[in-house]
Amino acid sequence: MINVKEAIKNSLLNPIKHFRLRYLPLLMIYFAYGASGISGVAETFWVKEELKLSAAALVSLGVWLSIPWTIKMVFGQLVDSVPIFGSQRRAYVYIGASLIAAGTILLIGLAGDYSWAKFASKENVYIISALLSVIGFVLQDVVADAMSTEVVDRNQPEEKVQEELAYVQILGRLAISLAGVMVAGLSGWLAQIYSYETIFKISLIIPIISIIGVTIIKLENVQRSPINCKILCGGLAFAVFVVLMGYGQYQHWQNQVLAFIFKYSQEIVFIVSLSVIVYMIGLILNDIDPKTRSFIIKTAIVIFVYRAMPSVGPGLQWWEIDVLHFDKAFFGTLSQIGAILSILGMWLFSDFIAKKPAHYTLLWLTLITTILFLPIIGLYYGIPQSLGLSPKTVAIIDTALESPFAQLSMIPLLTLIAIYAPEGKRATWFALMASLMNLALTAGGLLTKYLNEIFVVSRKVVENGKVIVPENYSNLGILMIIVTILNVTIPVVTIYFLMMRNSSKINKT
pLDDT tens figures, 270-288: 888 888 788 877 777 777 7
φ, ψ for residue 374 (rounded to 5)? -60, -40
Residue 83 falls inside a structural domain: yes
Q: For residue range 183-240, list pLDDT tens digits in order.
A: 766 777 787 788 888 889 988 888 888 888 778 766 566 666 667 677 777 777 777 7
Distance CA 253, CA 258 (A): 6
Residue 7 falls inside a structural domain: no
Which pairs from 159-162 meet CB under 8 Å and 24+ separation?
162/415, 162/419
Distance CA 133, CA 9 (A): 39
**Amino acid in position 488:** V
Under the banding of pLDDT at 50, 70 and 90, the label for residue 106 is very high
Neighbours of 254 (CB within 10 A): 6
Residue 2 falls inside a structural domain: no
Q: For residue range 49-76, list pLDDT tens digits in order.
A: 777 777 667 767 776 777 777 677 777 7
**Amino acid in position 332:** G
Neighbours of 61 (CB within 10 A): 20
Residue 210 falls inside a structural domain: yes
Domain of residue 144: give its range: 15-508
Residue 222 falls inside a structural domain: yes
Q: Which of 198-212, 247-261, 289-303, 439-453 has the lowest mean pLDDT?
A: 247-261
DSSP 3-state assignment of 466? strand
Distance CA 249, CA 11 (A): 49
Distance CA 236, CA 232 (A): 6
Residue 6 falls inside a structural domain: no
CATH number reported for the structural domain that contains residue 264 in this entry: 1.20.1250.20
Neighbours of 509 (CB within 10 A): 4
Residue 5 falls inside a structural domain: no
Q: What is the pTM of this model?
A: 0.65
> Burial letters for 277-315: b for 16+ Cβ neighbours within 10 Å, e otherwise?
beebbeebbeeeeeeeeebbebbbbbbbbbbbbbbbbbb
Give how many domains the chain has, as a whole number.
1
DSSP 3-state assignment of 83? coil
Residue 3 falls inside a structural domain: no
DSSP 3-state assignment of 469? strand
372: pLDDT strictly greater than 60? yes
* Contact (Cβ atoms closer than 8 angstroms) between residue 454 and residue 257: no
Distance CA 409, CA 413 (A): 7
Neighbours of 165 (CB within 10 A): 24
